[in-house]
Amino acid sequence: MQNTVKSPVTFEGVGLHSGLPVRMVLHPAAPDSGIRFRRSDVTDLDPVIRAAWDQVVPSSLCTLVANEDGVSVSTIEHIMAALAGLAIWNVEIEIDGPEVPIMDGSSAPFVAAILEKGIARMAAPTRALRVLRAVEVRQGEAWARLEPADMLEIDFRIDFADPAIGAQSRALNMANGAFVRELCDSRTFCRQSDVDAMREQGLALGGTLDNAVVFDGAEILSPGGLRHADEPVRHKMLDALGDLALAGAPLMARYTGNRAGHAMTNRLLRALFAMPGAVEMDDCDAFARGMLPGVGVHRGGLHWLA
């Protein structure tokens, strides 16, 4: 069965890069309608933007989607990861500004609020995109790959010169609520030198030590330290899930990322859909449905909700 939110879910915060206050409301949507953003502050142009891989336009340090009128929403990766991790593929996201609120820098506030309001099952069959042929994109030392698998698996590797980050890797089968338990509370991160550079470019104006983990060489500047010893690579996996959700349906595939970012994951989806015979849409049988991210998730036993 397909899912949507049971009732409207409201979030208020600031944009990470713009620093502007923003209000965002998730509304229930009909089966097969997909995920769409609607800019409530836009009145003279088309305010609706599909959350889709072919709507992504180049942007620094985040994922941004725009429609044909140029109306856009940025920093969508954390809410997209939350929705995919809860198996929600039909929702209208009303937002009164150009950037999704950063909240605490992770997907956990979105997940917690959605679970509090409840998830509605719909009388429509679940469909998934099954990857049939391997596809890969590269740029320098960075690369990303999708290959056939019976469920979504994410394998990610990072390597930073900063001793507090260093080389990290993690692989995770995303079935059985793994995203909610293992990844969704991992926060966005950056180096102090990156913060200084972004501020000079007019970015990260809403960033604080409360909504990002900031590293400076061997030091962790954010109060309280890390939520996980490998929080940076877990957050990269979170981002990857959010960016892969722009495929428009659950993916049955193994994703491997090495130093990959938002732009590279979008290039990978574009390559996948451009390759003849590389992917097909399937109705999910009972086994496939049981392997999808978000199946069986509930509030009980989630340590970060305690």
pLDDT digits (tens, 9 = 90+) for 183-242: 999 999 988 888 888 778 877 778 888 899 999 999 999 999 999 999 999 999 999 999
At CA 102, angle to CA 100 and CA 103, rounded to 5?
120
Distance CA 303, CA 301 (A): 6
Distance CA 233, CA 146 (A): 18
The pLDDT score that the predictor gives to residue 234 is 98
**Span 7-17, mean pLDDT?**
95
| pLDDT above 70 (res 177) | yes
Q: Among the options 17, 78, 235, 262, which is catalytic?
A: 262
| pLDDT above 70 (res 301) | no
Res. 289 pLDDT band, cuts 50 70 90: confident
**Span 283-292, mean pLDDT?**
83
**Span 236-262, mean pLDDT?**
97
Which domains are delineated in the chain?
Answer: 2-122 (3.30.230.20), 128-299 (3.30.1700.10)
pLDDT, mean over the chain: 93
Catalytic-residue membership of 262: yes
| pLDDT above 90 (res 272) | yes
